[in-house]
A and B are shown apart, each in its own frame.
Chain A
Amino acid sequence: MSGKVTNIRLVGVGGQGILVASELLCDVLLTSGYDVKKSEVHGMAQRGGTVNSDVRFGQIVYSPTIPDGEADILLAFEKMEALRSILSLKAGGVAIVSEQRILPTAVAIGKVEYPSDIAERLRERAGEVLAVDALGMAIQAGSKRSANICLLGALSGFLEVDESLWEGAIRDRFRHKGLEANLKAFALGRSMPKPEGRSKRDLE
Chain B
Amino acid sequence: MKTTILLSGNEAIARGAYEAGVRVAAGYPGTPSTEILESIIQYDTLYAEWSPNEKVAFEVALGAAYGGARALATMKHVGVNVASDPLLTASYTGVNGGLVLVSADDPGMHSSQNEQDNRHYARFAKIPMLEPSNSQEAKDFTIRAFELSEEYDTPVLLRTTTRVNHAKSVVRVSEPREPVFGRFERNPEKYVMIPAYGLKRHVVVEERMNRLRELANSIDLNAIEWGDTSIGVITSGISYQYVKEVLPDVSILKLGMTYPLAEELVRQFASKVQKLYVVEELDPFIEEQVRALHLDVIGKERFPIIGELNPKLVAAGFACVSRGEAFAAEACKIEKPDGKCFAPTPKRPPVLCPGCPHRGFFHVLKKLNAIVTGDIGCYTLSALPPLETMDTCVCMGASIGNALGIKRAMPDDDKTPVVAVLGDSTFVHSGITGLIDAVYNGTAATICILDNSITAMTGGQDNPASGKTLMGEDAPKLDLAGLARAIGVEDVLTVSPRDLKALELALKYAIQTDKPSVVIAEQPCVLIDKGKSVKLSPAAVDPEKCTGCQLCFRIGCPAIESRLAEDGKIYAQINANLCIGCSVCIQVCRCQAIGRCAQ
Contacts and interface: CB of A to CB of B under 8 A. Distances in A.
B168 A37 contact: yes
Interface string A88-104: 00010000000000011
A109 B560 contact: yes
A62 interface: yes
A86 B350 contact: no
B312 interface: yes
A43 B110 contact: yes
A114 interface: yes
B312 A42 contact: no
B351 interface: yes
B521 to A, nearest CB: 19
Interface in B302-335: 310-312, 331, 333-335
Contacts, number: 161
Contact of A47 (B167, B337, B353): B353
A86 B31 contact: no
B343 A45 contact: no
A68 B170 CA distance: 24
B323 to A, nearest CB: 16
Nearest to B562: A110
B550 interface: yes
B9 to A, nearest CB: 9
Main secondary structure of the interface of B (DSSP, over half): loop
B297 interface: no
Contact of A68 (B238, B312, B348, B562): B312
Interface stretch (B240-248, B402-410, B429-437): B240-248
Contact of A109 (B34, B335, B352, B553): B553
Contacts of B557: 105
Nearest to A103: B561
Contacts of B351: 47-49, 105
A123 to B, nearest CB: 8
Contacts of A45: 110-111, 350
Contacts of B250: none
A163 B64 CA distance: 50
Interface in A119-151: 121-122, 124-125
B166 interface: yes
B334 A69 contact: yes
Nearest to B563: A110
A115 interface: yes
Interface in A48-97: 48-50, 61-65, 67-69, 80-81, 83-84, 86-87, 91
Closest 8 CB pairs of A and B: A43-B111, A43-B31, A110-B562, A64-B167, A49-B350, A47-B350, A44-B111, A124-B341
Interface of B: 4-6, 31-32, 34-35, 110-111, 134, 162-163, 166-170, 238, 241-242, 244-245, 248, 310-312, 331, 333-335, 337, 339-343, 345-353, 378, 381, 386, 457-459, 550, 553, 556-558, 560-562, 564, 570, 575
